[in-house]
Amino acid sequence: MRRGGRHYSSASSGASSNLLFQGEPEQPVVKTQIPGPKTIERRQRLDKYQDTRAVHFIVDKHASKGNYLADVDGNVLLDIYSHIGSISVGYNNPFLKEQFRNNIDDYTSAIIARPALGILPDDQWIDLIEQSFERCKPPGFTDVFTAMCGSCANETAYKAVFMWKKAQERGDKAFTQEELDSCMKCQAPGTPNMSILSFEKAFHGRLFGSLTTTRSKPIHKIDIPGFDWPAAPFPSIKYPLEENKEANNKEVQRCLEITEHLIKTYKNPVAGIIVEPIQGEGGDNWAPPEFFKGLRRITTENNVAFIVDEVQTGVGLTGKFWAHEHWGLEPGNEPDIITFSKRMQAAGSFHKHKFRAPQPYRNFNTWLGEPVKAMYLRDILKEIENKKLIENVRTTGKFLKGELEKFQKGKYSDKVKNVRGEGLFLAFDMPTAELRDQLVDGLRKEGIESGGSGVAALRFRPQLIFTQKHADLVLNRLDKVLKGL
């Protein structure tokens, strides 16, 4: 099958052809409908205890290898969704297994005697921080705060910002008795009416503070109390970029002006802003570096903290380890806090020292992360470096994006819209949400596990070991499904 002069060969992804992961399946195998009978039976069992309405299928974790995800019915799918973008170096990665075996005592002790890291860290925790978080810490940051999930990372970042802001106002003075008494009633002055500004279509989590700043879908927020915090518009970029420079520049300037106006005038003073480098759940919305440079300027001039949510975009899928590195910020002008989770396996934030809580026990919980997750991160970083996986992302991403743009300009110009993204963190829009959902379903029937974002976007979240061979196969199946829609 030819498209734009290329031949997409689904048979070319042989087990020996992927030098980044030996022994994975040659191509997808679809034996039953998906979900199949065994998935349906197990899902019914699980539904007695948990809500299963969002379950795609039941995974066979032992049969999954590399880029391929197996289910309990014997179906094997090429996975470009990666558990909502949280797996990086392959299912059943042999290097990670080897590292586990070689460090079995450390893993075992961390599992069966999990420490309360905030009060009783062991000596190994210090080494783990240096071997994992320190190795991937962005330039300009001093501290790492470890947490349990992406929502937790953002929640604790907000707390750090509020404490920093009030410490600036309070100076070296102790808390007043009025502050101590009123905070127990959730009243001022102990509970101040400050806010975190976020952006329309953003997703920052599902807890209370993070959910307030989440603005992607009503189903996330309906019935849940929220704080009175402002939302600014995120640029609505027109494509292709080279044909819409003037309009996009005006849109960026419009959004920056509204953001600055909200910071200066909102009734609950803005202590910080949070933004995603690419809005993942809200539709894979991309903005140019000029927008983020403008945010950094505005936050600096107004003494507002600048939080960048890299929960989805961190760990290399955009072609740089951290997506904010694409912005070209000058040294010393970095964001104030970077939050992370998903592909890091561990969660938390990197921040500048001034955002460490002024007193102990304030940004705190029992576990403060988990040593096992830091061990995973340590070993994942070794695999990324040894196999030059971020270089692979840049090469494969350039190829895949170019081929998707050919679909957009050619035969499928009526269906494939607004191809965008960085590296392999890619997406395109379908004309309607219904067609997008049909595309996701059609790809699954063809052995490709994918997912949507926003209203009508198909998002690509493959692993870092995804190569041009896999891209060829995806393009082949995508071509087939689009033809039938």
Select which of 203, 291, 350, 407 is catalytic.
203
Shared domain check, 350 and 278: yes
Per the omega criterion (within 30 degrees of 0), is the bond before 240 cis? yes
% of the chain surpassing 90 pLDDT? 95
Residue 477 lies in a domain: no
Report the DSSP beta bridge partners of residue 71. Answer: 59
Shared domain check, 149 and 68: no
Select which of 108, 176, 300, 366 is catalytic.
366
Select which of 309, 379, 429, 472 is catalytic.
309
The pLDDT of residue 17 is 53
Residue 426 lies in a domain: yes
Shared domain check, 131 and 76: no
Can you tell me the mean pLDDT for 456-468?
A: 98
Shared domain check, 264 and 168: yes
| pLDDT for residue 310 is more than 80 | yes
Can you tell me the mean pLDDT for 409-433?
A: 97
How far is the C-alpha of 349 from the C-alpha of 38, rounded, in Å?
A: 40
Concerning whether 203 is annotated as a catalytic residue, the answer is yes
Can you tell me the mean pLDDT for 310-325?
A: 98
Shared domain check, 130 and 87: no
Number of domains into which the chain is organized: 2
Concerning whether 355 is annotated as a catalytic residue, the answer is no
Shared domain check, 278 and 228: yes
Residue 376 lies in a domain: no
The pLDDT of residue 11 is 35
Can you tell me the mean pLDDT for 185-197?
A: 97
| pLDDT for residue 5 is more than 50 | no
| pLDDT for residue 10 is more than 60 | no
Q: What pLDDT digit, counting tens, does each position of 44-87 carry? A: 999 999 999 999 999 999 999 999 999 999 999 999 999 999 99
Shared domain check, 140 and 69: no
| pLDDT for residue 410 is more than 60 | yes
Banded model confidence at residue 438, pLDDT cuts 50, 70, 90? very high
344 in Cβ contact with 149 (< 8 Å)? no
Q: What pLDDT digit, counting tens, does each position of 94-140 carry? A: 999 999 999 999 999 999 999 999 999 998 999 999 999 999 999 99
Residue 43 lies in a domain: yes
Residue 407 lies in a domain: no
Shared domain check, 249 and 146: yes
Residue with tokens 């005697």: 113
Banded model confidence at residue 172, pLDDT cuts 50, 70, 90? confident
Shared domain check, 394 and 362: no
The pLDDT of residue 416 is 98
3-state secondary structure of 77: strand
Select which of 65, 201, 342, 406 is catalytic.
342
Domain carrying residue 396:
9-93+389-400+414-439+447-462
Q: In CATH, what number is assigned to the domain containing residue 178?
A: 3.40.640.10
Residue 57 lies in a domain: yes
Dmax over CA atoms of the chain, in Å, equals 76
Residue 139 lies in a domain: yes
Residue 52 lies in a domain: yes
Shared domain check, 428 and 364: no
| pLDDT for residue 6 is more than 80 | no
Cα-based torsion angle of the residue sequence 400, 402, 403, 407 in order, rounded to the nearest 10 degrees: 130
Concerning whether 366 is annotated as a catalytic residue, the answer is yes
Banded model confidence at residue 19, pLDDT cuts 50, 70, 90? confident
